[in-house]
Homo-oligomer: A and B are copies of this chain.
């Protein structure tokens, strides 16, 4: 019904004449960025931004950190770095465009180039003409496919109210247990917010067999699951919810598909989001297979006078060339900038997405760019992967931290496809650099030519990306490297080449029937007789290099059925 008018319009010639030229619908990221950039490029045009809610240009991605208390006041998310509130007056005076909050655009007439906007509180409607119209309507949380009770303690986490409501109750100590349904970015961030910052007993449920499905491969997200378990978060993967209901005491109860139930004082529905494109659809704009508004490289919709950007549009993936929906604040900002550039006469194209993301979950820094191995396989790529664990600076330097990386590439043409990185070390440089290589259609050898910034307080003399590239070449020359989640069969000898103390402190999770031998690398040549040439041998160490070296020694000694564990024990912590 949003495209239809449910009441007669009150026309006001005054109001009508106040708005012309550029109308922007939506005020979180892409909208204000478009408006501010347009105002700079074309200071004499009128730009009006309509936002249904009361907040404009707030740090939406910061909501979990307000909910956690890391960010003290909600105002911090809505003000400038120098303390001014981002009010309509601020945007008018400092940025040069009009902001009308509490006002929803309910219909668009493309023939007459007018929008009809309605004041959310008064219900009053106005008509406004536009020269160019920009959709920045964002995303809406997916509706649960299971019954939920009417309760403000069962809610998604996408709007300021969600964060404020949770924190208010948490501060009062009124939340003892939380159930989070959905192990995507927001679900995982909220697990830290609830369990870590507020000490709430927290259960994180995910219907897929891993957290952060689609964007990480399962052996990598297993590192996150182990971290959450260490932090006392209950993690249930492969688990569906059948129903959420209020029991007789007024407590919430999640009924699982396996018949079990979980009581909770608060339930977060983190079921993902979908493009808020219903108005665009009603307006007759072309909508893509992902549900997002179809745009070209200039972020122009099927109507040349209408542009769209941010979480409401369908994008395409630079590597797969397939359509994709990727709601990310960073992309929304870039869209806004590109729309404004094109509207002000500078032709700039959005190149499509690569899928870069970062997320913090407790002590882990997590990031990826490009395709996961599963996503690459589904997109039809022949793939091979390599894993490595690394220190982010020399071990001798204080505060050296670790990380485990997985690189995916195409063995046919050595083309880089994706990188995943998890650890408490500096994964950021590697994600961004790899993104830049993907943007430039990089090959494995290009990584070897990377000249990274080096100094002991910040880096190793060789970057992890150099090592991964080198290992990928070794793999292509015949070295067999297994995924960290590889399960050796009972006939396999597991050769642990770490020092004895390391091996004892952090034993390999060997199966009951596996045969494990610890021979430190440095003693290997003199103890080859302890091993059996005829047996399948899996070599393990802490991060990977010693196992690689040991495998070469064994290979040279005539062992044939050899493999090493990618990423070493570090990838199993």
Contact = CB atoms under 8 A, between A and B. Distances in A.
A449 B433 CA distance: 13
A456 B94 contact: no
Contacts of A82: 498-499, 502, 542, 546
A6 B358 CA distance: 63
Interface string A76-98: 11000111100001100111100
A123 interface: no
A282 interface: no
A396 B71 contact: yes
Interface string A24-36: 0000010000000
Nearest to A549: B94
Contacts of A44: 556
Nearest to A185: B455
B429 A432 contact: yes
A62 B394 contact: yes
Interface string A511-530: 00000000001111110000
Copies of this polypeptide in the complex: 2
B396 A525 contact: no
Contacts of A521: 93-94
A365 interface: yes
A21 interface: no
Interface stretch (A157-165, A232-240, A349-357): A349-357
Nearest to A328: B454
Contacts of A61: 454-456, 461
Nearest to A430: B432
Given A436-B450, A439-B446, A453-B357, A333 B461 contact: yes
A74 B292 CA distance: 60
A232 to B, nearest CB: 21
A221 B461 CA distance: 24
A525 B450 contact: no
Interface in A394-447: 394-398, 426, 428-429, 431-433, 435-437, 439-440, 442, 445-446
A448 interface: yes
A445 B348 contact: yes
Contacts of A353: 451
B59 A453 contact: no
B450 A435 contact: yes
Category for how many chain A residues contact B: 35 or more
Interface in A292-332: 328-332
Given A61-B461, A65-B397, A429-B428, A369 B453 contact: yes
A355 B94 CA distance: 40
A139 to B, nearest CB: 15
Contacts of A546: 82, 94
A552 interface: yes
Contacts of A94: 521-522, 546, 549
A59 B391 CA distance: 15
Contact of A450 (B81, B346, B432): B432
A239 to B, nearest CB: 26
B429 A334 contact: no
Contacts of A555: 43
Contacts of A330: 451-452, 454, 459, 461-462
A553 interface: yes
Contacts of A126: none
A11 interface: no
A356 B459 CA distance: 12
Contact of A365 (B81, B89, B445, B458): B458
B360 A455 contact: yes
A396 B435 contact: no
Interface in A212-256: none
A152 interface: no
Interface in A462-483: 462-463, 466, 470, 473
A40 interface: yes
A337 B474 CA distance: 13
A506 to B, nearest CB: 12
Contacts of A525: 93
A360 B456 CA distance: 9
Given A428-B428, A451-B354, A360 B40 contact: no
A453 B428 contact: yes
Report the 10 A-B pairs with minimum CB-CB distance, sorted nearest first. Answer: A330-B454, A81-B395, A358-B453, A43-B556, A358-B455, A436-B436, A76-B396, A431-B453, A440-B440, A360-B457
20 contacts: A40-B549, A43-B552, A43-B556, A65-B456, A70-B397, A81-B543, A89-B522, A95-B549, A329-B454, A329-B461, A330-B461, A331-B451, A337-B470, A358-B455, A360-B455, A429-B429, A432-B433, A432-B450, A433-B433, A435-B453
Given A43-B556, A355-B451, 12 more contacts: A40-B548, A65-B456, A76-B396, A82-B542, A84-B522, A93-B525, A95-B549, A337-B462, A356-B454, A365-B458, A431-B452, A436-B440
